């Protein structure tokens, strides 16, 4: 299985790179050891090998939307560093099994996994790059490349990689309070920056009645400028014109029964902030838009102290339940930031990010042990998960395919960390069935909803209430059950969560569902008005529409039965 040769690609003659193979449980582990003649920033090097391109269907990684296997002169790449991505990439077979899954033990150092089809030899060229961005000066470096070519379901190979990261590589994830696993109302798509205290309170009352347990107050609370962008970020003072007194607002929302999470763009400081002059010599070069906002450099202690103080004071004084810490992936070394500066107490950006996030977590959990911290794609790797307990799909407004596929991807790679959908939204003039599809496509994640409830038609409100109730009823299965999925190359045609004797399946195309074991709950998230079920003879069923109204019930008589179910309807067989 692993009878291929490895080549080391390096232009650095002042170092030695050694490889050592080890096979455990039919998985190859390649130990990589770099030794340099002196303590310097290591240059990029790579490990390269080839496998026959047999039974190769598609490429999977944490962010892939285009799953095609590209030629080796236009490779598919999975880039990773502490604040962005995770080092795993896989080729799947035509029946959904693993062909080859490659991962790296070191998830902090900037790396890249590359795969491409060689037209001259009909082979897949695999290459793992180390130090794709400058890091700290070192003498020696060790890492492991995990190469799994077992013919097992693609998702099992991913699960095994995640277990390896957590158990063998030492990447423990943060404690996840139950409140991180409940539906939330996010105000970004519904309000954008046009926040208003009384309207926020109205939405909190309405969303709580529907079953949402927290509100995320997004960008706009800190500025009266509504032109988007981050030119006014950096001071993090409350815009009283919009919000009034923040502490009293939070208190009123708590009386309604919702928790409060507040948004911050961690790195950004804008030209029009009062802090601009104080920190203008502590910006990362080529960050932001280089016109009216930049990213602060966490390698300066004054930057870390300032940011930690902002969050600590906000949580303590305003009694916040959580923070949405945004844009961590904007911490990137480029340009003049690569030059040495003796005023920094860290020269490694990765070490400085660790120091910043560790201090934030320590200070906030000292105030509230159940503090909620949300990160979103692309900062979702196993190392960053020890600082946050909510991982959200990246912005994809109205995009069912992206929200569905990325939510499932995150469920496969995030262990016990709470995975949240991007905020679901739709046009109020759409049919209730189409609106419900937005929810039905993200049921394996914690739903965030971003609609103005007060403006919704009554049947949309009825649908939302039913789907939130349904999701809560099966929450344990949906969030704690094992996720299995079909056809990743098509953004998943069907997915299931199974826990104990209950399976919840969502179909995204016209699929056949096997109801042989225990209770089977089927969510029709396809565009068709029917579901085909096999192996359900003598079981009882009930069909509900997207508003929870019972359409029919009975007993299954046929081994293969076509159930008429409207879009976003639900079939329960038990």
444, part of any domain: no
Does 321 sit behind a cis peptide bond, omega within 30 degrees of 0 on the bond before it? no
> Are 327 and 249 contacting, i.e. CB atoms less than 8 angstroms apart?
no
Give the mean pLDDT of 34-57. 96
Asked whether residue 113 falls in the same domain as residue 191, the answer is no
Final residue before a domain boundary, out of 357, 375, 392: 392
Whether 216 and 356 share a structural domain? yes
Domain co-membership, 98 together with 191: no
Per-residue pLDDT tens digits for 369-386: 999 999 999 999 999 999
Whether 431 maps to a domain, the answer reads no
Helix (H/G/I), strand (E/B), else coil: 114: strand
**Looking at the domain assignment, is residue 447 inside a domain?**
no
For 522, list phi and psi in degrees, rounded to 5: -120, 125
Tell me the per-residue pLDDT of 95-151, one tens digit each, with 9 for 90 and over: 999 999 999 999 999 999 999 999 999 999 999 999 999 888 899 999 999 999 999
Give the model's pLDDT for residue 65.
Answer: 81
% of the chain beyond a pLDDT of 70: 99
pLDDT at 555 over 70: yes
H or E element in which residue 77 lies = strand 76-80
Residues 370 and 270 in one domain: yes
Residue 454 lies in a domain: no
Environment class of residue 549 by beta-carbon count within 10 Å: exposed (0-12), middle (13-18) or buried (19+)? exposed
Q: Is 453 domain-assigned? A: no
Domain final residue, candidates 392, 418, 434: 392
Instruction: Report how many domains make up the chain.
Output: 3
DSSP assignment string, 319-377? --SEEEEE-GGG----GGGGS--TT-S-S-HHHHHHHHHHHHHHHHHHH-TT-EEEEET
How far apart, in whole angstroms, are the C-alpha atoms of residue 488 and residue 101? 14
Q: What is the pLDDT of residues 222-232, one digit of tens each?
A: 999 888 889 99
Position 290 scores a pLDDT of: 64
For residues 140 and 36, is the Cβ–Cβ distance under 8 A? yes
Pick from 99-103, 386-390, 508-512, 515-519: least confident: 508-512
Residue 398 lies in a domain: no
Same domain, 186 and 160: no
The residue among 368, 392, 416 that closes a domain is 392
Mean pLDDT value across the chain: 95
215 and 350 within one domain: yes
* Segments forming the whole domain that contains residue 349: 178-392
Q: Parallel, antiparallel, or unpaired for β 519-524 and 76-80? A: unpaired
Angle at CA of residue 562, ends 560 and 563, nearest 5°: 130
> How far is it between the farthest Cα atoms of the chain?
78
pLDDT band, residue 527 (cuts 50/70/90)? confident
Same-domain pairing of 23 and 137: yes
Q: Are residues 150 and 228 in the same domain?
A: no
272-330 pLDDT, tens per residue?
999 999 999 999 987 666 678 999 999 999 999 999 999 999 999 999 999 999 999 99
Check residue 287 and give its pLDDT. 63
Q: What is the band of 471 on the pLDDT scale with cuts at 50, 70, 90?
A: very high
Same domain, 259 and 208: yes
Collect all residues with Cβ–Cβ distance below 8 Å to 85 and sequence separation of at least 6.
Answer: 62, 63, 78, 79, 378, 380, 381
Residues 106 and 192 in one domain: no
Coil/strand/helix, residue 257: coil
pLDDT above 90 coverage of the chain, percent: 91
Span 23-51, average pLDDT:
96
Whichever domain contains 330, its CATH number is: 3.20.20.70
Domain co-membership, 194 together with 80: no
44 falls within a domain: yes
- Do residue 161 and residue 267 come from a single domain? no
Is 460 domain-assigned?
Answer: no
Are 356 and 383 in contact by the 8 Å Cβ rule? The answer is no
Q: State how far the Cα of 356 lies from the Cα of 282, in Å rounded to an integer.
A: 15
- In tens, the pLDDT along 158-213 reads 999 999 999 999 999 999 999 999 999 999 999 999 999 999 999 999 999 999 99
Burial readout 386-403 (b: 16 or more C-beta within 10 A, e: otherwise): bbbbbbbbbebeebbebb
Instruction: Calculate the alpha carbon distances from 139 to 39, 42, 299, 333, 337 in Å.
Output: 5, 9, 21, 21, 22
- Contacts with 248 (C-beta within 8 Å, 6 or more apart), sequence order: none
pLDDT in tens, 389-423: 999 999 999 999 999 999 999 999 999 999 999 99
Measured CA to CA, the distance from residue 447 to residue 424 in angstroms comes to: 8
């Amino acid at each position: 299985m692993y009878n291929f040769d490895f080549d080391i690609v390096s232009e650095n003659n002042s170092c030695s790179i050694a490889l050592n193979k080890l096979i455990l449980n039919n998985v190859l582990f390649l130990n990589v050891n770099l030794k340099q003649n002196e303590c310097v920033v290591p240059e990029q090097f790579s490990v390269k090998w080839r496998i026959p391109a047999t039974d190769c269907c598609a490429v999977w990684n944490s962010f892939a939307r285009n799953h095609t296997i590209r030629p080796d002169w236009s490779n598919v790449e999975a880039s990773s560093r502490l604040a962005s991505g995770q080092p795993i990439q896989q080729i799947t077979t035509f029946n959904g099994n693993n062909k080859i899954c490659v991962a790296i033990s070191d998830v902090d150092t900037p790396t890249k996994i590359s795969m491409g089809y060689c037209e001259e030899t009909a082979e897949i060229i695999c290459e793992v790059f180390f130090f794709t961005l400058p890091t700290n000066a070192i003498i020696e470096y060790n890492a492991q490349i995990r190469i799994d070519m077992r013919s097992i379901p693609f998702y099992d190979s991913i699960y095994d990689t995640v277990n390896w990261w957590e158990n063998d590589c030492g990447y423990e994830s943060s404690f996840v309070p139950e409140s991180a696993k409940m539906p939330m109302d996010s105000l970004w798509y519904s309000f954008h920056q046009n926040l208003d205290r009384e309207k926020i309170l109205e939405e909190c009352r309405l969303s709580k009645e529907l079953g949402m347990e927290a509100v995320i107050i997004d960008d706009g609370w800190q500025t009266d400028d509504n032109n988007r962008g981050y030119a006014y970020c950096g001071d993090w003072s409350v815009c009283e014109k919009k919000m009034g007194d923040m502490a009293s607002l939070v208190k009123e929302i708590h009386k309604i029964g919702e928790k409060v999470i507040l948004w911050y763009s961690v790195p950004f400081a804008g030209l029009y902030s009062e802090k601009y002059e104080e920190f203008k010599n502590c910006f990362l070069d080529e960050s932001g838009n280089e016109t009216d906002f930049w990213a602060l450099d966490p390698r300066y202690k004054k930057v870390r102290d300032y940011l930690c103080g902002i969050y600590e004071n906000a949580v303590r004084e305003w009694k916040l339940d959580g923070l949405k810490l945004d844009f961590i992936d904007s911490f990137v070394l480029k340009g003049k930031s690569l030059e040495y500066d003796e005023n920094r107490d860290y020269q490694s950006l990765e070490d400085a990010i660790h120091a910043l996030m560790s201090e934030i977590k320590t200070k906030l959990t000292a105030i509230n042990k159940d503090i909620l911290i949300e990160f979103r794609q692309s900062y979702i790797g196993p190392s960053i998960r020890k600082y946050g307990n909510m991982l959200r799909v990246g912005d994809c407004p109205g995009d069912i395919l992206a929200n569905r596929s990325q939510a499932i991807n995150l469920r496969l790679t995030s262990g016990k960390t709470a995975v949240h959908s991007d905020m679901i939204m739709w046009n109020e003039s759409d049919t209730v069935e189409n609106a419900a599809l937005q929810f039905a496509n993200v049921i394996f994640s914690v739903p965030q909803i971003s609609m103005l409830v007060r403006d919704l038609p009554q049947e949309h409100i009825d649908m939302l209430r039913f789907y939130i109730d349904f999701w809560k009823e099966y929450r344990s299965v949906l969030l704690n059950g094992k996720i299995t999925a079909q056809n990743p190359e098509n953004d998943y045609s069907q997915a299931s969560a199974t826990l104990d004797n209950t399976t919840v399946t969502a179909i995204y195309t016209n699929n056949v569902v096997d109801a042989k074991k225990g209770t089977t709950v089927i969510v029709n998230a396809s565009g068709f008005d029917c579901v085909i079920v096999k192996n359900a003879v003598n079981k009882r069923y009930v069909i509900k529409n997207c508003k929870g109204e019972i359409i029919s019930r009975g007993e299954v008589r046929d081994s293969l039965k076509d159930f008429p179910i409207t879009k976003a309807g639900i079939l329960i067989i038990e």
